[in-house]
Amino acid sequence: MKFRVCAQLRSGLQALSSDRNPNLNIDPFSRSISWSPPQHGWFTLNTDGAVSSENGAACGGAFRYCWSRFILGFSGNLGTCSVLHAELWGILRGLIIASQRGFS
């Protein structure tokens, strides 16, 4: 799992920066990634976006209470867009759902 996350991060960074700086060299690194609960009384929104040459782009996310309990999740097909746009759509859709559900 750790290798897959690092490989995806590296390829995503290269894709985002290749248009602006084709000589950019991104060194791979390894980092453990885990969920950390927010302060008591808060909830958290985790989102992600992904792009595949075969399946197009998608985004999704999950809401959780401060004690790690799952509230709800969402996902959506975005068609064709960049990785950056897929990530941003995930954030936007999450914020819209939070607003519609009255999370504050």
Condensed to tens digits (0 to 9), the pLDDT of residues 80-100 reads 999 999 999 999 999 999 999
Say if CB 75 and CB 46 are below 8 A apart: no
Task: Give the percent of the chain with pLDDT over 70.
Answer: 68
pTM equals 0.65
Nearest to 16 by CA among 31, 29, 26, 28: 26
**Which of 16 and 91 is assigned the larger pLDDT?**
91
Distance CA 103, CA 19 (A): 38
**Which of 14 and 63 is assigned the larger pLDDT?**
63
